[in-house]
Structure 1
């Protein structure tokens, strides 16, 4: 895992735009992180493939993305849950297997961009990545020492840079955590060393974000076979 922490900024007075309770927004998108505890005699590969097949068959739950963290027994799902009553299909299955899991409400970064006055549409964001080397980034905009206007401008500047990256041909899927403060994003994209270096430079410097980057693979590509580097 590549861990990049570039200082801490906190904000004494959060802006109204950022503090909106997202009223009227259907919180249908969720990130589900599933952790398979190591147990003697357990077949990790079989468990992961069982999860993969189970989530594909869930009713009224659309799997937008499914990943596995490289080197760790952690599954990362991004789901569009069409009906709240569909949840027990997944939570019941995970609980019956004894898996630990966390659920985070999300919404598309393109929706957030529109609130900021930035022209980003959903069709600009990637909907699949295929069998490629990938990374997941988690960005936090900590809160201290900025005015309302400065905080909004910092976030808007970052969204505008995302649009530039997409327009330059980079596949990117990005979500904001719903009603979470300080503002947090999760993004997925193909990875190269050039791209890692670019993001290190991008998130360092005067913007002072907190960034944690994790290498992942598409769950559809997972075989459980150790691959040489």
Structure 2
């Protein structure tokens, strides 16, 4: 795999084909588990690990799997990996495991995981599939992190609440109280599912606005003469 191929995969995964704000897949965990940064990032990273390993595994056996058995075999591989992640989280971050609850096993049926296995890993080499799977998961994680930060900040006036579930009780001091704790600030609309819909709508609109701006800029530069193009880049 060349560096240009890797850059294309990373760009497509993180931005162009982002599963959270472009493909709009996996909305159930996105809307429910994005109530704060820690929940969103934890679930997103767990999904990324499953997609990384499952993508590589499926790419490695793709030539030996009959077409009529592809779906059940892919699901079996994904389910085995999710079980491993589930058991590891139960062992090492049990309190966080309890908070994430059913959404860890449900990674098995997450349409993002199976869709990338079918659309990319079943047709691509191992390295490409592993990179695509990980960064597709990482793209979703970034959406969960930003959406979680928005909802947590507006809903509770904090950032990183629940970090002690990952790093222990001493990590409670790491929580950032943007609104002082003594005010007992809370805005339920942001914390509840309607806040997730509203926040996700803002993220989708923001990405589309940035894409339109970049497209307009590219068209403007394409119309310039080489001399004008150089001057425009110099002024930037």
TM-score band by shorter chain is under 0.3
Looking at secondary structure, tell me which structure has more strand per residue: 1
> Which structure is richer in relative contact order (CA contacts within 8 A, separation 6 or more)?
1
Higher Rg of the two aligned structures: 2
